[in-house]
Structure 1
Amino acid sequence: MSGASTRLQKLFEGHRLTPTQRRIAQCLVRRAGDAPFLSSVELAELAGVSQPSVTRFAVALGFDGYPGLRRHLREHGPTGTEDAGPPAGNSYQQAIHAEIENLRMLAAQLADPVPVAEAGALLAASRPLPVLGLRAASAQARGFAYFAAKVHPDVRLLDEGGTMLADRIDAAVRAGASALLCFALPRHPREVAAALDQARTAGLRVVTVADSAFAPVAAGGDILLPAAVGTGLAFDTACAPMLLGRALLEAICDQLPEAQARLEEFDARATERGLFLE
């Protein structure tokens, strides 16, 4: 994460923000280089909110109003070319450059490996391990569960909503689950928030891979691992959440002494069955 983005993230953390205010915060983090120079009208347009919402956001952060927030951003803003604007190019190239920046932010975030290691230990110890991801996040959950099942003895994929979702969470709890992994990407389904509330009430520790530290499905007791999504195309791109999921898998493998033996056993059986072309 760039220096300006990190400073903004720390400024917003610890404040109880409404969904609209989280949207403004996310916009400022994405536009960290421009943030000190945006008027309240410009910020409102970029975030897709009303101008009074921007004022209320600044007050929620402890400032008298938006001018006070902008003055703070200018006094603690970037220097030099720390946050240069997006590279030139067509819309496809710009989307890819933005996604590369998301990966750079994730790499900087993982300079502190402790949160991922702690999450890996929790998830590795859970028997079974429920993995939740609905709608846009279902692909992330399914990919994670596919690989996790190669090293973890009991992975339960929860990628469909509806009335059965609560039953499946209850079943996981009865079977001995101690933690749940959730992939939460925009737009955030109400069902995800309800499912996570149910899991927390049942005593499960929740690890959430989300698009932002301000994701509306997160709660105070969760381990929240943010990874930004790309928004430059008609549909969001999620390279950083996918890669963060793979890092979590690595952390889980580190906690499972039998992981390498399981992988070698799978490879041997795959060779015997001629499972793959190569």
Structure 2
Amino acid sequence: MSETGGEPEATARLQKLFEGHRLTPTQRRIAHCVVRRAADAPFLSSVELAELAGVSQPSVTRFAVALGFDGYPALRRHLRDVVPAAEAPGEGAANEYQQAVQAEIDNLRHLASLLADPEPVARAGRLLAGSRPLPVLGLRAAAAQAAGFSYFARKVHPDVRLLDEGGTLLVDRVDAAVRAGASALLCFALPRHPREVVEALEYARSAGLTVVTVADSTFAPVARHSDLLLPAAVGTGLAFDTACAPMLLGRVLLEAMCDALPDAQARLEEFDAKAMARGLFVE
């Protein structure tokens, strides 16, 4: 089932509903779930929504009250007005593994709808291309995304610095990048969000860096510490989150950065020539 019922406008309307409210981390998690399951949300009981969001049923009730409703039933009635009518979700024959794959397909479809406006990504590409060096931050669950981006970015960008370890040295490494001339920092932030990442982004901005963040949601804790946030939902149907959309968005950012680097193609051709001379690959 499509995560937004095939209507990107529904996602925008839901996000507008949540704007202006000071939501707790648990409430942001529920809001994120409602956005991801926009087509289903008007039909879900408070217990079902709590299970999908991984929170308690009373948390769902408090979430509804925090938005100004008398309780969850009133919020659900409002959702039926906000989200375009769709068929009530039926019982499917797909097993849990197939459902997880379908959820990722839905996440990718939603990402495609967001990319209908390419300007945010193009702007991010220009910011990343212009930063020398370019620090790339990703801790814990997001470390793989940061490492993957950095691996390919080094083929076209002259100085990419991967920040994938926390601890007391993290701020030192941000300082070193600033002293070397960095103007922007790219962060991959996925749940559960480490406190160190939030603190590092707050410090990076105070040091003068423009922060570009790929996060699982516009409600992520890193949002208020980012100058440009690009959302890409994660899958939550398995024991551990899946992150196909954030990975693909990272590759899209790479493409945008290459477009902003005048010598990117020459660098790629130089790498290919050296790789062939060294017999680096077996194909």
Category of TM-score, reference length = shorter chain = over 0.9
Correspondent of 1:103 among 99, 104, 108:
108
* 1:54-101 superposed Cα distances (whole Å, 9 cap, x missing partner): 3332343343443332221112232244x8568532222111111111
Equivalent pairs counted in the alignment come to 277
Match of 2:66 among 46, 50, 60: 60
Contact residue 86 and residue 97 of structure 1 kept, 8 A: no
Deviations 1:160-193 (CA, angstroms, capped at 9, x unpaired): 1111111101100111111100000111111111
Given that residues 198 and 225 in structure 2 are in contact (C-alpha distance below 8 angstroms), is that contact kept between their aligned partners in structure 1?
A: no
TM-score (norm 2): 0.91
Give secondary structure in 2 for the equivalent of 1:180.
Answer: strand
| Equivalent residue for 1:77, pick from 48, 67, 83 | 83
Residue in 2 aligned with 1:16?
22
Mapped to 1, the partners of 2:116 and 2:257 lie a distance apart of 18
Matches within 5 A, 1:24-35: 24-35=30-41
2:276 matches 1:271 = yes
| Structure 2: distance between partners of 1:10 and 1:87 | 31
Match of 1:161 among 166, 186, 189: 166
Task: Please state whether the residue corresponding to 2:224 is helix, strand or coil.
Answer: coil
Aligned to 1:244: 249
The DSSP-based 3-state class of the residue aligned with 1:219 is helix
User: Which sections of structure 1, spanning at least 5 residues, go unmatched?
Assistant: none
Distance 1:107 1:84 in 2: 23
Q: Could you tell me how far 1:199 is from its partner in structure 2? A: 0.4
After the TM superposition, which residues 117-132 of structure 1 pair with which residues of structure 2 at under 5 Å, given as runs? Answer: 117-132=122-137
2:159 and 2:110 map into 1 onto residues whose CA distance is 32
Q: Per the alignment, in what secondary structure is the counterpart of residue 50 of structure 2?
A: helix
Q: Distance in 2 between matches of 1:221 and 1:241?
A: 16
Q: Give me the whole-angstrom Cα distance separating, in 1, the residues matched to 2:61 and 2:46.
A: 8
SS of 1:112 mapped into structure 2: coil
* Deviation of the 1:231 alpha carbon: 1.5
Conserved? CA contact 1:209–1:241, under 8 Å: yes
Distance between the aligned counterparts of 2:50 and 2:236, measured in 1? 17
Query: Deviation per CA, 1:30-52, whole angstroms, max 9, x where unpaired?
Result: 32222113333443343333444
Between 221-230 and 128-137, report the one with greater CA deviation. 221-230
Structure 1-normalised TM-score?
0.92
Q: Distance in 2 between matches of 1:203 and 1:25?
A: 31
Over 3 Å counting, the alpha-carbon distance change for 1:64 and 1:184 in structure 2 is same
RMSD: 2.0
Contact kept? 1:86, 1:94, Cα under 8 Å: no
2:25 and 2:221 in contact (8 A); partners too: yes
| Structure 2 counterpart of 1:202 | 207
The separation in 1 between residues aligned to 2:188 and 2:101, in whole angstroms, is 22
Does 2:49 match 1:43? yes
- Stretches of structure 2 lacking an aligned partner (at least 5 in a row): none
Q: Percent identity?
A: 79
1:149 paired residue number: 154
